Amino acid sequence: MLTWICEATDWKTLPGTSARCGLISLLEGRLEEASIQNDRALALDRKLYTARRNRRILKYLKAHGVRYIDYLLRPAPREELDKLADEEDSRTLQRRAGELNEDRLEAFGQDAIDRGEAWPMANHLSTLQILFRFLAEVSADAYFLYEDAEFMRGIFERLMNKFIVKFRDADAQVIEGICDALDSFYEFLVRKKVLSERDLAAFKKRAGPARKKLIDRATRYAKARSDTSLGEDEREAFRDELFDGDHFWPHI
C-alpha cells in the first residue's frame, strides 16, 4: 500500500512526500529507489531535514552493506563527539549526540514491535524520554549518550532524588516504571552488543538496591507534600534529611 502511494506522480512534487517515500524504500531495502526519491526531495528543498538524514543513512548502508536497524545501532563516534566537546562546538555536539540517542530509542521500539511487544514499549519509550530530558537539564557534562549505563550507574540515585523532588507525581509506581524501562533498554542494548554484559551487571548491582530506597523516599515525600501542617522550613529540613541534600545542587 505504501509503495503504491509513493508511485503516484502527483505526490512526488512535494519534497516532504518524496523524502517519506525514500524512507519507505530504504526501510524495505530498495536502496536505489530510495536514492531516486531522496534526490527528488533534495532537488525541491535542499534544507529538508528528513531528506538530508536519509542521504546520510543511504551512504552508511551502501558503504557497510547493512540494514536500516544496523544503522540505528551503529557504533557511537565517541572520538568525534569528544573532539567537538574540546572545541566547544556545543551546537554540533548536541545535534550529533541527539541524533544517535534518538536512533537508539527508535531501534529499541522497532525491536519491540518485531517481537510483538508494542504495548509495554510505548510506556517504556515515554518514560525514558522524560527521564533523559531531565538528565540533560541537570547534567554538567558536555554531552551524554543514552547507552552509557556506566555513567547512569554513577549518578542514578542522585538523579532520582532530584527527579522525585522535581515531579509531584513521582510516586512508587513512577519509580518502578523508570527502573523497569532502564532495565529493558539496557538489556536490549546488550542483546544487540551495543552495551557490555559487564556494564549492565554493574548498573543493576547499584540500581537494584537503590530502587527500594527510592520508592520509600517517593512515598514518604508524597505524604510530606500533602501535609498542610508542615511549614516551608520544616519541609526543607525534611527534604534535606530525606534526599541527603541532593535536591539542593543544580547539577550532577
Question: Does residue 138 register a pLDDT over 50?
Answer: yes
Measured from the Cβ of residue 76, the count of other Cβ atoms closer than 10 Å reads 18
Written as nine digits, the cell of 6 is 509513493
Between CA 34 and CA 61 the distance in angstroms is 11
Between CA 52 and CA 105 the distance in angstroms is 20
Residues 6+ away with beta carbon under 8 Å from 222: 171
Average pLDDT, the chain: 89
Q: Where are the domains of the chain?
A: 2-71, 118-243
Evaluate if pTM is beyond 0.95: no
Between CA 135 and CA 178 the distance in angstroms is 13
User: In the chain, pLDDT over 70 holds for what percent of residues?
Assistant: 94
User: Residue 15's pLDDT is what?
Assistant: 65
Is residue 41 very low, low, confident or very high in pLDDT (cuts 50, 70, 90)? confident
